A and B are shown apart, each in its own frame.
Chain A
Amino acid sequence: MSAKRIAVIDYEMGNLRSVCAALSRLGAEPAVTADPAELGRADAVVLPGVGAFGDAARALAARELTDVVRRTAADAAAGTGRPFLGICLGLQLLFATSEEAPGVEGLGVLPGAVMHFPERTPEGSVLKVPHMGWNEVEVAFTNPLTAGLSGGERFYFVHSFYAAPECKEDAALACEYGGVRFAAMAARGRLFATQFHPEKSQARGLALLEAFLNLV
């Protein structure tokens, strides 16, 4: 059997090498690409991303990737398409809007909004933003990627904005920071997206990526 071919969408937003290294370690064959045809041929698609929502939405548009990525993600969400994984900003882009870039359209595959963390905690002290480091997740809805988790596991987060899905069933993993409970993983059908970085979350992160590859 040949290696699973995973398209890693290249729109020059972030550290693609780490995602590819993790996928290679797990025996898959990552292909960094901005070519819609290559996206179409892959067994699964990963949308990574670090940086700003507005820049990322514009970068996808500039490479004429917006429609194909939206369609691929929507098919995955419908349960019919190939597995799709968004990471960090790649999760936030699945929603329609972000407070980070008012007026800029995201992919709008999942209903909900992306918001900024508050400046203060409920106790009134200054909240450190970005939310940076290893935080615990809570399993809200079980899916093939969360099946190995019992809650309390830590993953590596680094972000200043968070997603608040409208349908609570979309928020598969929850995390809490500064009094805000947000989606650590959004999922629907074969669409998955993590706010944390599985490729930077050591063994637990690799296990989650492996569960994703097992869907192919």
Chain B
Amino acid sequence: MDWFPLINSLRIAAISTFIIFFAGIFAAYYIAKAPRVIKGILDVVLTLPLVLPPTVVGYLLLRVLGPKRLIGAWFLSVFELKLTMTWWSAVFATVVVIFPLMYRTARGAFESFDETLAYSAQTLGLSNTYIFWRIRMPYCKQGILAGTVLAFARALGEYGATSMIAGYTPGRTATISTTVYQLWRTNDDVRAFQWVMVNLAISFVVLLAVNLLEKRHAAK
């Protein structure tokens, strides 16, 4: 069995999760503090990919990253770099699709934070950086961790936008989800089933990890 789709899916998911971990927390932290109107608008915009069909996300991404489009054309002329149809093109798609998951869970966690902790820390002379990393983040740890794991799981399962922007090239851009579709389409039921089992096993392990983390937190 060729394990390339597994490795490719894992690296795409890992890179995307790494990016949205910081981007999601950053957005959540500043938007939680923003004035109400701005908060409402940004909230809608940033949550949109969660409810849009992945094909719509893929279409919109191709509209800007495609070789003849604004950003895509610029990269092609300046760096001679094609942004679509490579294995890492899928990262663009995954990042956009999983960003709302991280953003929303992190924001929920930040909003449940007891602000008096930050206030009293300030009056005790503790710096705002210290407060963020040593008080706010530990307090919100559980929500942020849950958001990260969920985002990772969702990234592994990304299909629609990925197939549009990275396509399916065996050994180059194939992921688990695009492989399953391709194998099913070509009537290779045995191998399709193998990949389905691989996918199920990974998702099972990830969700088990989330539950164990929550249990351990509750016991403490």
Are these two chains actual partners, yes or no? no
Q: Identify the A interface with B (CB < 8 A).
A: none
Chain B interfacial positions (CB closer than 8 Å to A) = none
